[in-house]
Structure 1
């Protein structure tokens, strides 16, 4: 028996992480973890990109899409521009709604990417 070993001790197998286990917020390259943006690894927003875009297109003159994402200042500015220009400013919310739907990394007020 080698010196320094206890004859009454038993051998323990080393422990390894379970198959498929990943730490929250980390996914190996090439694997997407649910609830996290695969491009940045940051968590998704609880707001939907489609809902924000459709709200902005449908009733954007009231800034509803931007209120939904938490951008209160921009929503109030859209309301003011629409009403102060007697309706001509409605072009801004329509273009904004199209951009929300087409741009890939639209964020909410906390900076989290909107869910697809």
Structure 2
């Protein structure tokens, strides 16, 4: 359970840290509510992934990702063009429910 945020703080750091747990909880709840609709989520196929010119270890892990054109996607699932701020599940299969992402034999990454 998330603790109540106090009305006064001893420092700016204490103030900023007081919002960390509620922010994480809100993000978790929002993520979960969107994951339950995974079978209706739009899809696209990745053509290639390469390191960006801005790629610099250890923190700047930028990649250039190229997607197949919309007409190359399967007709029955529609097409999708990613936008800034989208949350993407990278898989090698089309999940039909949230349970499909919770199987030890199927792996996915959130990007």
TM-score norm. by structure 2 comes to 0.29
Q: Which has the larger radius of gyration?
A: 1
Whichever structure has more strand as a proportion of its residues is 2
Whichever structure has more helix as a proportion of its residues is 1
TM-score norm. by structure 1 comes to 0.29
Q: Which gives a bigger RCO, structure 1 or 2 (Cα 8 Å, sep 6+)?
A: 1
